[in-house]
């Protein structure tokens, strides 16, 4: 017996054969490991006595289970361990010894007391890819709690969200947790390629604060390169216009004219071609500077028809635009254009619907074999496997 009994899949995912020891909780880490699981890796989710915190984040619920938890934990097996128990700690160490990839998001140094820090794990598993996600890094910010909302506040993101004369707002989703999970997955894959070429594992680290500053791209870039401190502008863009919702006869339509040609096309469809050649508006810099003069001229035309009518005609003319949907409307639109956004993880009555992995491959499609596991659902089988002295670490 040299591996956890495999779930059959056809064809195997691009990461098939790799074992992931997931010591992460809540969102950033579990989102990363779900991506790895979708791509075919075998993910063992290690949970403490109370289980992952998100099991208790409710409502909303599906069959009594938190949908927050369900949304980020498919394609995993659950193993419940109390790291303060010597036997469970030994099982965790053995899992780390066998793993190709270990992902954790404890506070910096938090796993050292259990012998599961990078240096200790590397001593018995030198080829391991060990990924750590923290809130503010392992240096001067190591003591700070790593919650997305706090990072949104401290990074400056909240200062950019909301009406210009209103209060700051958080994002509608834990955006930096999600981006940190994505960045960690990228780092793991890069480290795997390095291992394929050299045989060497390594420690991959990221943190929410660094991810936030990188993820704000042009806004933080404006400050770094020009000393410009961005500010709240509601739905307006600091460098483009029109690039915001504008009212029509029955609701707002987002118009995103990203270049001068698209703006001229917009003006032609609106029946105001003269605006496209007006020296105040012909170039984007002029439109952005003179947005307060241009906006009412566009609105005057847009209010003559409904958002749906304008959408069809503007898209036909090559002008990027779209209505403001609810989440239900967004999923419905994705279905309408053939993106098949909802998938079932697992089979039969145990299957759980979720959102499709956005990646597509010509040969190795993402998998949806396992529904999010119940706490310790696979514990007995995994413990038996870890206790087998003949089982060896796998290398993908």
Burial label for 369, CB within 10 Å (0-12, 13-18, 19+), is: middle
Q: Do 310 and 263 share a domain, yes or no?
A: yes
Mean pLDDT, residues 49-61 taken together: 96
Tens digit of each residue's pLDDT (9 = 90 or more) over 56-91: 999 999 999 999 999 999 999 999 999 999 999 999
Tens digit of each residue's pLDDT (9 = 90 or more) over 217-241: 999 999 999 999 999 999 999 999 9
The per-residue pLDDT of the chain, averaged, comes to 95
Residue 13 lies in a domain: no
DSSP 3-state assignment of 341? coil
Per-residue pLDDT at 396: 41
Alpha-carbon span 54 to 303, nearest angstrom = 45
Q: Do 311 and 352 share a domain, yes or no?
A: no
Q: Do 145 and 195 share a domain, yes or no?
A: yes
Q: Do 170 and 272 share a domain, yes or no?
A: no
Q: Do 352 and 325 share a domain, yes or no?
A: no
Q: What is the CA radius of gyration of the chain?
A: 25
Per-residue pLDDT at 10: 55
Q: Do 192 and 178 share a domain, yes or no?
A: yes
Instruction: Count how many domains the chain has.
Output: 2
Q: Which of 165, 177, 278, 369 is catalytic?
A: 177
Q: Do 56 and 136 share a domain, yes or no?
A: yes
Per-residue pLDDT at 3: 53
Q: Is 100 part of the annotated catalytic residue set?
A: no
Q: Do 211 and 247 share a domain, yes or no?
A: no
Q: 255 has which bridge partners?
A: 244, 321
Per-residue pLDDT at 344: 97
Give residue 147's pLDDT band: very low, low, confident or very high (50, 70, 90).
very high
Mean pLDDT, residues 339-362 taken together: 96
Residue 140 lies in a domain: yes
Give residue 1's pLDDT band: very low, low, confident or very high (50, 70, 90).
very low
Mean pLDDT, residues 360-371 taken together: 95
CATH code of 87's domain? 3.40.50.10540
pLDDT at residue 9 tops 90: no
Last residue of some domain: 315, 336, 357?
336
Alpha-carbon span 25 to 50, nearest angstrom = 11
Percentage of the chain with pLDDT > 70? 96
pLDDT at residue 395 tops 50: no
Residue 252 lies in a domain: yes
CATH code of 322's domain? 3.30.1540.10
Q: Do 360 and 326 share a domain, yes or no?
A: no
Query: Which pTM value belongs to this model?
Result: 0.92
- Structural domain of 201: 19-217+341-387
For the four alpha carbons of 70, 185, 137 and 221, in that order, the dihedral sign comes to negative
Q: Do 145 and 41 share a domain, yes or no?
A: yes
For the four alpha carbons of 304, 305, 306 and 310, in that order, the dihedral sign comes to negative
For the four alpha carbons of 286, 289, 293 and 295, in that order, the dihedral sign comes to positive
DSSP 3-state assignment of 140? coil
β pairing state of 129-134 and 202-207: parallel
Tens digit of each residue's pLDDT (9 = 90 or more) over 279-310: 999 999 999 999 999 999 999 999 999 999 99
Q: Do 188 and 165 share a domain, yes or no?
A: yes
Per-residue pLDDT at 4: 54
Tens digit of each residue's pLDDT (9 = 90 or more) over 15-39: 999 999 999 999 999 999 999 999 9
Q: Do 259 and 370 share a domain, yes or no?
A: no
β pairing state of 65-66 and 77-80: unpaired
């Amino acid at each position: 017996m040299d591996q956890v009994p495999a779930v059959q899949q056809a064809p195997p995912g691009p990461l098939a054969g790799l074992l992931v020891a997931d010591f992460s909780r809540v969102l950033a880490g579990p989102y990363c490991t779900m991506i790895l699981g979708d791509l075919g890796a075998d993910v063992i989710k290690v949970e403490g006595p109370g289980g992952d915190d998100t099991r208790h984040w409710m409502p909303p619920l599906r069959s009594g289970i938190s949908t927050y938890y369900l949304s980020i934990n498919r394609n995993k097996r659950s193993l419940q361990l109390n790291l303060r128990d010597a036997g469970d700690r030994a099982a965790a160490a053995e899992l780390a010894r066998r793993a190709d990839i270990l992902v954790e998001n404890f506070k910096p140094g938090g796993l050292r007391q259990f012998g599961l820090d990078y240096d200790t794990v590397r001593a018995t598993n030198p080829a391991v890819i060990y990924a750590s996600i923290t809130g503010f890094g392992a240096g001067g910010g190591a003591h700070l709690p790593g919650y997305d909302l706090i990072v949104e506040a401290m990074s400056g993101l909240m200062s950019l969200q909301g009406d210009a004369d209103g209060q700051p707002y958080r994002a509608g989703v834990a955006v930096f947790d999600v981006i940190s999970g994505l960045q960690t997955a990228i780092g793991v894959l890069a480290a795997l390629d390095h291992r394929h070429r050299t045989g060497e594992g390594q420690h991959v680290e990221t943190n929410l604060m660094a991810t936030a500053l990188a993820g704000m791209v042009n806004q933080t870039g404006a400050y770094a390169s020009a000393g410009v401190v961005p500010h709240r502008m509601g739905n307006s863009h600091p460098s483009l216009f029109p690039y915001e919702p504008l009212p029509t006869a029955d609701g707002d339509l987002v118009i995103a004219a990203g270049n001068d040609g698209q703006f001229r096309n917009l003006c032609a469809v609106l029946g105001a071609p003269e605006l496209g050649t007006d020296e105040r508006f012909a170039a984007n810099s002029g439109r952005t500077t003179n947005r307060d003069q241009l906006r009412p001229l566009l609105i005057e035309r847009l209010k003559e028809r409904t958002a749906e009518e304008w959408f069809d005609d503007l898209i036909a003319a090559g002008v990027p635009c779209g209505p403001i949907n609810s989440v239900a409307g967004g999923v419905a639109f994705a279905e309408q254009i053939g993106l098949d956004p909802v998938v079932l993880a697992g089979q039969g009555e145990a299957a759980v619907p979720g959102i499709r992995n956005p990646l597509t491959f010509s040969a190795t499609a993402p998998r949806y074999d396992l529904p999010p596991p119940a706490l310790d659902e696979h514990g007995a089988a995994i413990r038996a496997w870890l206790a087998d002295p003949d089982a060896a670490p796998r290398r993908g």
